[in-house]
Amino acid sequence: MIPLAWYLVLSALLFALGALVVMTRRNALHLFMGVELMLNAGNLVLLTGARLHGGAEAPAAMLFVLALAGAEVAVGLALIVLTHRTRGTLDVGAINFLRG
Amino acid sequence: MVPQLLFLLLSVIALLGAGMLLLRRDPIDGALALVMTMVALAGLYLQLVAPVIAALQVIVYAGAIMVLFLFVTMFVRRSEEHGPLHRNRPVFGVALLVAALLFGLLANVALRADLSSAAAAGSSADLRAIAEQIFSADLFPFELVSVLLLVAMVGVVVLARRGEES
Amino acid sequence: MDLLLPLIPLFPLGGVLFIGFASRQLGEDAHLPAIVAVLMSFLASCAVFAKVWGGAELSADLFPWIVAGSFQTSIYLVADRLTAVMLMVVTGISTLIHIYSVGYMHGDPRYPRFFAYLNFFVFSMTMLVLAGNYLLLFVFWEAVGLASYLLIGFWFERDSAANAGKKAFIVNRVGDFGFSLALMLLFVNLGTLNIAEIGALQSRLPLAMATAIPLLLFVGATGKSAQVPLYIWLPDAMEGPTPVSALIHAATMVTAGVYMMVRSAPLFLGSAVAMQTVAVIGCATALLAATIGLVQNDIKKVLAYSTVSQLGYMVLGVGVGAFGAAMFHLVTHAFFKACLFLGAGSVIHAMHEEQDIRQMGGLRRYLPQTSLTFLVASFALAGVPPFAGFWSKDEILGAALHGGHTLLFVVGLFTAFLTAFYTFRLYFLTFEGELRARNAHPHESPATMTTPLLVLGTLALIGGFFNVPGFLEGAHAAGGHAELGAGHEGGMSHNALLLLSAAVSLSGVWLAHATYRKRDGVPRDALYERFARFHRVLLNKWYVDEIYEWLVVQPVMRGSRLLLRVLDKGLIDGAVNGLARLVGNIGGAMSVEQSGRIPTYILSMAIGVVATLAYVLVGGGS
C-alpha cells in the first residue's frame, strides 16, 4: 500500500514546478502550459482526497476543473493567436497592453 | 512492492515532463513533455482506483487540450527566438526561491496531514456515483460550467473574428 | 366595468402618440387627428352623460396600479352627474378650441407639437375628472400642470414666455405640496384614497384632521385655481398662445381646483372653519382681481384678472356650501370666458399681434362676427340678464346671503359692479369709437375661428337656462342645498335679489358706457385722474409681485447663493475635489508599480500567494 502522503508530496512538487514555469518562462504558451501543470497538480490532490474519504464529491469537482481548464485554454489560446497576429511575438516581457 | 515501484516510475515520468517543460526552449517540446506528464498522472489516478477520471484525463487533457496546445504552438512557432529563461538572474533567483518555498509549505501540509483513515475508505468513484453527484448535489455548478463553456465559445469566436478584420 | 369611460381619455392619448410619432409626415395636417380624437372623446362624453342622466353611476376598475403591502390602488375611473357635466365642458370646449387653433396657429413652425400638447392636455384633464381615487387625481392634477407649463412656454424663444411657464410651475408646486400633504393625512387616518369611501368615512376623522385636511386640499386648489395668495401665475400665463389661454387658463384646467373641492364636498362640509376660510379667500380673490382688472390695458390681461375674479366667485360658492351653484358658474364661465378669450385672439390676430386696447377701437366695423359674440359674452360676464353669467353668479350670491354671510354677499355684489365696469371698458375701448392705431388693417378671421366663436356665443347666451344645480342636486350637492334651504327665511326674497343683482350689473355697464363710449380720439381715463394715486397702485397690481419678490424670491435667491458658495463650492466640492486629488496622488504613486510587464505581475502575485500561505500555515497557524 502506497502512503497517500507520497501523492501529496508529488503534487506539491509538480505544483511548484508549474509555478516556476509560469514565473520564469517568457513565452506566453509556456505560461499557459505551466498553469495546466498546476491545475493537474491540484487534481492529483483532489483524487487523493477521494481515495482518503471515499464518495464522489472530489471526482465531480475534478470534472469541473477539467471543464474550466478547457474553457480557459480555448480563450487563452485564442488570445495568444490574436496577440501573435497583431504583435508578432509571444514574449510576455515585450507585451505590455496593460501599461498605464 | 510492485505498486510502490510503479508509483515511483510514474512519478519520475511526471516530474521529467515537468522539468522538460521548464527547461526546453521549444514550446513543441514543452507541449509533448506535458502530454507525458499527464499520461503519467492518469496512471497514478488508476492507482488511486479512479478509472473514470484516469480515462477522462487521457481523453480530455492529454487528448483534446494538449492537442489544441500543439496545434496553436505549431501555428505561431517561427517567432520563438528568445531564450528559455529570464536572462535576468536575480529575477530567476527570486522565482526559484518562491517556488521552493511554495513546495516546502505544501509538502509540509502533506506530511503533517492525518491520513490514517486511508485504509478504511474504498473508492466509490465509479461513473454512476460521479453522475449522481453531478446531476443532483452539484447541479447548479454544473449548469454554471455549461454556461461558462458557452461564453468561452462565443468569446473565442469573437476574438477570432476580430483577428480577421485587422 | 364600463368601457366607455376609458375611451374618453384614450382618444386624445392616441392623438398625442400619433401626432408625436408622425409629426414630420403630418406637418400642416396635424390638426386632423387631434380634432378627430377630441371629437370622439366628446361623443363618448355625451354617451356617458346620457347614461348618468337618470342618476346612475358608472365605474371602471381598469387594472391594479400600485400594490405595496397594505397599500393598494388601481386605475379606477368613476362617472356620476358631476363628472359628466365636467366632461361635457372639457371635451366640448376642447373640440371648439382645437378647431379655432387651426386658424390661429396657422403657419407656426411647431404646429404639430401644439396639437400634440393640446391633446395631451385633454387626456390629462379627462383623466383628472374621471379619477376615482385621490392618488390618480393627483397624478393627473400634475399632468395638466405639465401641459399648462408646456403651453405657456410654447413660444419659449421669448424670455417672458419661458419665465411665465416657470412661474406657473413653481407657484403651483406650493399648492401641490399642500395637496399631497392632505392625501398623506387622508391615507394615514382612513387607510384609503378612494374618493367615495373617504366621503363615507369622513365622520371618523378626529377634529384636528377634519379641519386640516380640507384646508390643505384648499391650498392645492389655491394654486391650481389661482386664488389669493397663489393667483400670481395666471396673469403671466397669458404669454401662451391665446387658444391655450382660453382652454386651459380660463375654461378648464384652472377650474380643476373648484372641481376637486366639489368632489371632496363631504370633507369640506365636515369643517366649518375650512368652509369659512374658503369663502373668505374666494371672496377676497374675486374683489382683488376685479380691482386690478379695472386698469389693465392688455386685452388678455384684463380677461386673465377677470378669470381670477370669477374663479373667486366659484370658490366663494364652495365656501358657502353652494356646490351646485359653484359648478353652475364653472360651466357658464367656461362658455363665456372661452368665447371672450377666443374673441380676443381673433382681435389680436386681426391687429397683427397688437394686444394693447389703447391702440384699438372701432373694430366692430371690421370684425362683425367677433364683436357680436364678444358683446354677448361680455354681457354674460357682466351678469346682465338673461345672459348665462347672471344666473350662476346670482345663485352663488344668493347662497352667500342665505347662509348668513352678509359681508361676503355685499363684497360679492360690489365685485359684480366692478366686473360689469371693466368688462365694458374693455368692450368699448376695443370695438367702439375710432381705430386709434395707424397703419392697421384689421380683417375678420377665417371661418375656423369664427365658427367656434358663434357656438360659444350662443352658449353664453342660453347657458344660464341649464339647470346645473338642480341636475347635480340629486347626485352630489345635496348637503349644500339642504343647508341653503334651511337658511332661507330672514334673507330677502329670491326675486328681490335677482332685481338687485341685475341693477348692480347694469349700473356698471352704464358707468363704463358713460366713461368710454367716445366717438373721437382716445377716451380719457377721467375716472382714474380723480383717483390718481389709487390708480397707480392698481396699475402695479397692488405691488403683489413686488412683495413676493421682496419676501420670497430674493431671500430664496440670496440663501441659495450662500448655500452655493459655502456648502456646495466650499464643503461638497472641496471634499469631492480633495478626495479626487488624494486618489490621484495615490494612483500616481502606485503607477510606478503598474509597469504593464506581465512577468513582474506574475512574480509579485506568486510572492503574495506564498506569503499568505506561509502566514496561514506557519505564522498565524493555530
Report DSSP state, residue A91: B
Task: Search chain A and give the residue with CA nearest C596.
Answer: A99
Tens of pLDDT along chain B (166 residues)? 788 899 999 999 999 999 998 888 888 888 899 999 999 999 998 888 888 888 988 998 888 888 888 888 887 766 555 554 555 667 788 888 999 999 998 888 888 877 766 554 555 567 888 888 889 888 999 999 999 999 999 999 888 787 666 5
Local structure of residue C203 (DSSP, 8 states): G
CA C265 to each of CA C55, C214, C341, C451: distance values in angstroms, whole numbers, following the listed order: 18, 9, 30, 37
pLDDT in tens, A29-49: 888 899 999 999 999 998 888
Q: Which region, left, alpha or beta, applies to residue C596 given φ > 0 means left and ψ of -120 to 50 means alpha?
A: left
Give the SS3 label for residue A27.
strand
In a domain, A99, yes or no: no
Three-state SS for C440? coil
- Between A2, A40, A75, which is nearest B156 by CB? A75
User: Has this prediction a pTM greater than 0.80?
Assistant: no
All three cell numbers of C479, joined, read 348637503
| Structural domain includes residue A96 | no
Domain count, chain A: 1
- Indicate if the pLDDT at residue A52 is higher than 90: no
Distance between CA atoms of C283 and C278, rounded to whole angstroms? 9
Cβ atoms of C487 and C403 closer than 8 Å: yes
Domain assignment present for A95: no
Query: Which residues in B lie closer than 8 A to residue C618 (C-beta atoms)?
Result: 105, 108
Binary contact (A96, C597; C-beta < 8 A): yes
pLDDT at C492: 59
Confidence of residue A96 (pLDDT cuts 50, 70, 90): low
C173 CB neighbour count, 10 Å cutoff:
13
Query: Quick one: cell of C375?
Result: 358683446
- Do C318 and C438 meet the contact criterion of CB atoms below 8 Å apart? no
Q: How confident is the model at residue A84 (pLDDT cuts 50, 70, 90)?
A: confident
| All residues at 6 or more sequence positions from A19 whose CB lies less than 8 Å from its CB, including other chains | A34, A38, B98, B99, B102, C606
DSSP state of C133: B
CA angle C177, C182, C183 (to 5 degrees): 100
List b or e across C345-363, with b for residues whose CB sees 16 or more CB atoms inside 10 angstroms. bbbbbbbeebbebebbbbb
For residue C131, what are the β-bridge partners? C77
| Residue C398 neighbours by CB under 8 Å, 6+ apart | C325, C494, C497
Measure CA of the first residue to CA of the last residue in chain A; give whole Å: 55
Domain span holding position A14: 4-87
Chains touching chain A, criterion 3+ CB pairs below 8 Å: B, C
Radius of gyration of chain B (CA): 20
3-state secondary structure of C67: strand
Task: Kindly state whether residue A71 falls inside one of the protein's structural domains.
Answer: yes
- Amino acid of residue C157: E
Instruction: For residue A57, give the CATH number of its domain.
Output: 1.10.287.3510
- Grouped pLDDT means (10 residues each) for chain C, 622 residues: 88 94 88 94 93 87 86 88 93 94 90 94 95 94 94 92 91 92 92 90 88 94 91 91 92 93 92 93 94 90 94 94 92 94 92 85 88 93 89 90 89 93 91 80 86 92 83 54 39 77 90 74 61 77 83 86 83 87 87 72 87 81 50
Give the minimum alpha-carbon distance from A67 to chain B in angstroms, rounded to a whole number. Answer: 7
Determine the pLDDT at residue C479. Answer: 40
Residue A98 lies in a domain: no
pLDDT at site C162: 92
* CB spacing of B98 vs C617 below 8 angstroms: no
Residue C199's DSSP bridge partners are none
In a domain, A63, yes or no: yes
Distance from CA of B102 to the nearest CA of C (A): 6
DSSP SS3 for C210: helix
Q: Within 10 A of A85 (CB to CB), how many other CB atoms are there?
A: 14
A100 in any annotated domain: no
The distance of B133 to chain A (nearest Cα, Å) reads: 6
* C298 DSSP 8-state letter: B
Q: What is the chain A residue with the closest CA to C587?
A: A100
Cross-chain Cβ contact B30/A63 below 8 Å: no
**DSSP β-bridge partners for residue C64:** C74
User: Across C223-278, where does the E strand assignment appear?
Assistant: none
CATH number of the domain at B1-91, please? 1.20.120.1200
Interface test with A, best of C598, C601, C603, C612 (most A CBs within 10 A): C598
